[in-house]
Amino acid sequence: MDLFFISSSFHVPSLCVFFILFFGGALGATFTFMNKCEYTVWPGILANAGSPSLDSTGFELPQDSSRTFNVPTGWSGRMWGRSGCTFDGSGSGSCTTADCGSGQVECNGAGASPPATLAEFTLGTGGQDFYDVSLVDGYNLPMIVEASGGSGLCASTGCVTDLNRVCPSELRVGGGEACKSACEAFGTPEYCCSGAFNSPAACKPSVYAQMFKSACPRSYSYAYDDPTSTFTCSGADYTVTFCPSTPR
């Protein structure tokens, strides 16, 4: 059944306005992934409950390449980069860091295994997009998120510093492939902001969170790091860059 009928008296300018009003709110944003690392990265994408899956949930992104997705208004989820991956011709395999455990290039609804640098987005809530880069689950790759074409503060955020090089030995993974969060490393309530520490008043940044925050001041360093770590923008497109040389 046709959605609407266009009569001979329906002028082209009016039709353009109609399409903008009728469809504009559903168009969402364009997301571009860029890999500036000196090696291949395999991004993973996980949509939150109630948000549709994008065209891919995991893919290969060679050095100096990019890939673009259309993301609808109202979408929320997270994105990250996997490293040290080995996949065979059928797409079966695994990754050294931030593996999603699917056993395939596509993550198929599975999230990143910590430690992982995460970019988190909620698009179009109250006319605004909310986004952040989180180190709450640890760190594996430098990452920056940049907004373009939007209105509002629209600040870039992320972690450009290679934290693997300064990661304390008690948080280090393997030969320095990734850096755990204190919660993952020690599992205690004061580091995980759980139990009696499950509130902003009770859970304060640990010495490890402070180290993360000092190196990457715009990234989430622990669970209640909202005031300096969540950013907003309206009507923007976004670029997620792995291993950026410097923020623009």
CA–CA separation, 248 and 80 (whole Å): 20
Mean pLDDT lowest among 9-23, 71-85, 116-130, 184-198: 9-23
Give the up-direction half-sphere exposure of residue 133: CA atoms within 13 A in the CB hemisphere. 30
pLDDT digits (tens, 9 = 90+) for 38-53: 999 999 999 999 999 9
111-163 tens-digit pLDDT = 999 999 999 999 997 889 999 999 999 999 999 999 999 999 999 999 999 99
Q: Is the pLDDT of residue 247 over 90?
A: no
Domains and CATH numbers, the chain: 27-242 (2.60.110.10)
Tokens for 243? 């291993």
CA distance 146 to 171: 29
The share of the chain scoring above pLDDT 70, in percent, equals: 88
Distance CA 162, CA 158 (A): 11
- Residue 191 φ then ψ, to 5°: -85, -30
Average pLDDT estimate for 63-77: 97
pLDDT at 27: 65
Distance CA 203, CA 117 (A): 21
Range 71-77 average pLDDT: 96
- E strand or H helix that includes residue 15: helix 12-23
Q: Mean pLDDT across the stretch 2-8? A: 36
| CA–CA dist 168, 179 (Å, integer) | 8
Nearest of 77, 162, 70, 81 to residue 117 by alpha carbon: 81
Three-state secondary structure of 193-224: CCHHHCCCCCCCCCHHHHHHHHHCCCCECCCC
Structure confidence at residue 98 (pLDDT): 98
* DSSP H/E element including 77: strand 76-82
pLDDT at 26: 47
* Residues comprising the chain, all counted: 248
Q: Are strands 143-148 and 157-159 parallel, antiparallel or unpaired?
A: antiparallel
The pLDDT, as a whole number, for residue 80 is 98
Nearest to 121 by CA among 181, 69, 85: 69
Query: Is 1 a residue whose pLDDT tops 60?
Result: no
Average pLDDT, the chain: 89
pLDDT for 22 equals 34
Beta-bridge mates of residue 66? 34
Token pair in block for residue 45: 């994408």
| Residues paired with residue 173 on neighbouring β-strands, in sequence order | 178
Instruction: Look at residue 197 and tell me whether its pLDDT is greater than 90.
Output: yes
Indicate the pLDDT class of residue 28, thresholds 50, 70 and 90.
confident
> E strands within the chain?
29-35, 42-47, 66-71, 76-82, 86-87, 93-94, 118-125, 128-134, 143-148, 157-159, 172-173, 178-179, 231-233, 237-242
